[in-house]
Amino acid sequence: MKPTPRELLDSAARTRVPEDLNLYPRLSRQLERKTFMQTLRAKPALLVLSLLLALTLITGAAYAIGRLSGFIPGFGFTSDTSTVYVLEEPVQVEHEGVTIRVENAVSTEDKFWISFSLHKKFDPERLFHTGATVILSDGTVIRFQAGQEDDLDVAPHKASYEFPALPVGTDALTLHYEFYIEDGAESWSVDVPVKLRPIRAEELIPAPETYTVPLHSETHDGLTLVLDHVATASDKTILQVSLRFEQPGTSLNAHWDITLSGDDGKTYPLTEVMADSNNQSKTFETLPFRGGETLTLSLTAFPDAGNLPMSVDFPLEQAAFTFDPGSNPQVGQSWKMDEQVQVSGYMVHVVGVKQVSSTELLFEFAPTPSVTGIMLYSPLASGSTGSLPVENAIFTASLSFEKVPAQPITVSVARIGYTASGKWQIHWQAPAAPEGVIVGPTNTPAPTAAVFTTPTVTSSDPLMLEVQALAQNFDAPLQQGPGWVHMIKETKITPRPGQTFPPPYITSEQWLELDAEGYVIRSIWTDKDKDGNVIQQSVTIGNYSINFTTGESSYNEYSRYPFSTDMLTQDLIQAAQYQAQVTREEVPCDDGSPCLLITLFDAFDQGIQNPGEAQLITGMGRNTWVNLNSGQQVEVQAFSRLQDGSEKIEYTDRPLMLEKVDSPPEEVLKVINGVVVP
């Protein structure tokens, strides 16, 4: 779905600093680091192609509890190495300008898995369908059970597929891969011969014998965190964790991660190396341990790890009610209802229905204990949308039709949303790393050191040169010599209907350590709400970052960048690239000193309707005020322009404090020094 203007603004608001400092590019997995104009102009990427059979969507799949032999990098854990075959060597086939390279394949007693890359960049405007089959030497064709592919406009294009188990001893097969355009105007396929061989002992990270039975957290509201498997090498420890649900059809409707901490107060790195396609199991790599360290694995999800958005699906015949719109329903007509529907352990209270168009009915539900959302189904309907909470706590769900029926409608409750509350933690003893067990790397290596630089001004535009000169004048004293820069800013946000995050008011505090040349070498970023509660925190050391709130950790693209408060220069560069409107005006600042007001505005080709808002949005813009005496960019204000020409303020950023000090408070250093870098 195309992002709403509010979503675009949220993205733009949180992408105005280097990525290793900014928490928000990881909130929804993931907001890209783009400037204001890039965010507005960027076309939505093709959807990640997830090819899942019903079998792979079954919730509460069986969890192995017997002894596992170990972990195969790129594939996962396996229980019987005597039946495991792996790719003999990578194989590459070129056909009609497209190159496919099979890079990994593993055959076990329960499935066959293969991964490959496709070296061709397809036209993102054209819709492709893809698929893979395996052909055995006797001509048997095996269709995939599950698969995952990158966007088709990315080169190289990565793909992986799972198939049912191959006959024992299979050492040769053919991968048949094909695609076709939806209208049938073009099709293409290629056959890649694949040879397999038995796995060797040195290609497996062994599982310690003491970790043959999964450990698990306490169960809260039907959700349990499980430490399924552990494997140890001399240079790494591999952990597989999963979510287990008491009731089939249950899902966690949020990106989740794991944090690893010790009783010594340290936070240990976890790098995700594998994840299943249904958001229920993940495999992480961390450091080797001496053995016996007391560690805690904690489930985390943004924005509140203690209150997780969940949903559970029900058989359509389990809970239903009837709505009769009468013989002549009209657009704008409303019906009052008082229908209570018992759905397993949940009570749903229908209080009204509105016909919002000739094809859509909107059902209203009163708040009831535990229920946070509804998804409906009717055999007469052509589609449905989930609930959207509103200010008075009434929430809604809609059904779409070719035309609203003039007859009684049977409506089923297909899905219930609820909140799981609790703390999901697993306490365990680390196994000792063995000697001489070195297996190929499973994590992404640290990127080559690079320097993130502020944009080079190649334009002779007087406004561009004026803005950069002002920014350099302000930043110069802060960049001199080693020390720490302490910054606090406030962000005021105008929530859209149904928005629960971000909150209307946020303060963001940063501590950045600079070296003698003015480059940032360590930093901590903390977001708080209006009551001072921490809602997100991250630390960056060199080019390694860890987000304590989401649990994610990774290497950043850049290891060094000079400190700067200037974001307007890059905005102007992008505005010129995309031919956005730019205006300059001298106005008084809030304190009466002279200010330079720069306005960027991008008009949409056609208006966009935001849910819950009366007018179309015809464009988006941003105002930046620069103090002409100091050069500081003292305020940033994003706005939407509405159909009637008026403007709606979406968010406002203002600096509250900016200082250079020798050292931060002890509690800040304690958090930074508590991060163990891989």
CATH of the domain at 112: 2.60.40.1640
Omega of the bond leading into 502 within 30 degrees of 0 (cis): yes
Same domain, 628 and 512: yes
Of the listed ranges 10-14, 241-245, 254-258, 503-507, the one predicted with least confidence: 10-14
Model confidence at 184, in pLDDT bands (50, 70, 90)? low
Q: Are 636 and 624 in contact (CB under 8 A)?
A: yes
Domain coverage including residue 317: 312-421
Mean pLDDT of 93-109: 86
C-alpha distances (whole Å) from 45 to each of 133, 150, 153 are: 27, 10, 8
Smallest Cα–Cα separation from 115: which of 83, 166, 150, 84?
150
Of 198, 213, 234, the one marking the end of a domain is 198
Band (439; pLDDT cuts 50, 70, 90): confident
User: Are both 528 and 658 inside the same structural domain?
Assistant: yes
Verify that 398 and 452 share a domain, yes or no: no
Copy the structure tokens of residue 529: 């709400």
Alpha-carbon distance 562 to 579, whole Å? 29
Which of 49-53, 135-139, 148-152, 199-203 shows the highest mean pLDDT? 135-139
- Check residue 217 and give its pLDDT: 95
Residue whose tokens read 């941003």: 622
**Same domain (yes/no): 32, 136:** no
Confidence (pLDDT) at 40: 28
127 & 20 share domain: no
CA distances from 110 to 164, 165, 489 (A): 7, 5, 54
Is the pLDDT reported for residue 194 higher than 60?
A: yes
Q: Is residue 534 domain-shared with residue 664, that is, in the same domain?
A: yes
What's the confidence (pLDDT) of residue 67? 40
Query: In angstroms, rounded to a whole number, what is the distance separating the alpha carbons of residues 32 and 11?
Result: 8
Residue 498: per-residue pLDDT: 63
For position 9, what pLDDT does the model report? 37
The rounded distance, in Å, linking the Cα atoms of 197 and 170 is: 9
- Extract the runs of DSSP E, i.e. beta strands, from 15-78: 49-52, 70-72, 76-78
Per-residue model confidence as pLDDT tens digits over 505-564 = 999 999 999 999 999 999 999 999 999 988 889 999 988 888 888 888 888 766 678 899
CATH of the domain at 332: 2.60.40
pLDDT at 458: 55
Kindly state whether residue 211 falls inside one of the protein's structural domains.
no
For residue 113, tell me if it sits in a domain.
yes
By three-state DSSP, how is residue 508 classified?
A: strand
The answer to whether residue 442 scores a pLDDT higher than 70 is no
Least confident of 63-72, 195-204, 312-321, 597-606: 63-72
Confidence of residue 658 (pLDDT cuts 50, 70, 90): very high
Residue type, 288: P
**Would 562 be classed as within a structural domain?**
yes
How many domains, the chain?
A: 3
Q: What is the pLDDT of residue 65?
A: 31
Domain final position from 198, 218, 236: 198
Query: How does DSSP assign 579-637, residue by residue?
Result: T-EEEEEEEE-TTSSEEEEEEEEEEEEEEEEPTT-SSEEEEEEEEEEEETTT--EEEEE
pLDDT, tens only, 454-464: 445 456 789 99
Q: How confident is the model at residue 80 (pLDDT cuts 50, 70, 90)?
A: low
Query: Do 14 and 163 belong together in one domain?
Result: no
Q: pLDDT (tens digit, 9 = 90+) per residue, 387-421?
A: 655 545 788 899 999 999 999 999 999 999 899 99
- Strand 223-232 vs strand 215-216: parallel, antiparallel, or unpaired? antiparallel
**Is the same domain home to 477 and 526?**
yes
Residues 490 and 531 in one domain: yes
Token pair for 338: 């008082």
- Do 191 and 101 meet the contact criterion of CB atoms below 8 Å apart? no
- Residue 208 DSSP class: P
Same domain, 459 and 414: no
Q: Is the pLDDT of residue 15 over 80?
A: no
pLDDT at res. 5: 36
Task: Give the residue, 76 or 526, on which the prediction is more confident.
Answer: 526
Asked whether residue 442 is domain-assigned, the answer is no
pLDDT of residue 75: 80
Q: Residue 653's pLDDT band (boundaries 50, 70, 90)?
A: very high
Report the pLDDT averaged over residues 489-499.
84
Q: Angle at CA 109, nearest 5°, toward 107 and 115?
A: 25
Do the domain assignments include residue 352?
yes
Distance of alpha carbon 328 from alpha carbon 404, whole angstroms = 10
Bigger pLDDT: 49 vs 353: 353
pLDDT confidence band for 640 (50 / 70 / 90): very high
392 belongs to a structural domain: yes
> What is the chain's Cα-based Rg?
28
Residues 514, 610 within the same domain: yes
Cα distance between residue 39 and residue 474, in whole Å: 27
**Location of structure tokens 């990640």:** 48
**Averaged over 170-189, what is the pLDDT?**
79
DSSP 675: B
Q: Are residues 520 and 407 in the same domain?
A: no
Is the distance from CB of 398 to CB of 363 less than 8 angstroms? yes
Can you tell me the mean pLDDT for 606-628? 86
Mark which of 421, 436, 464 sits at the end of a domain. Answer: 421
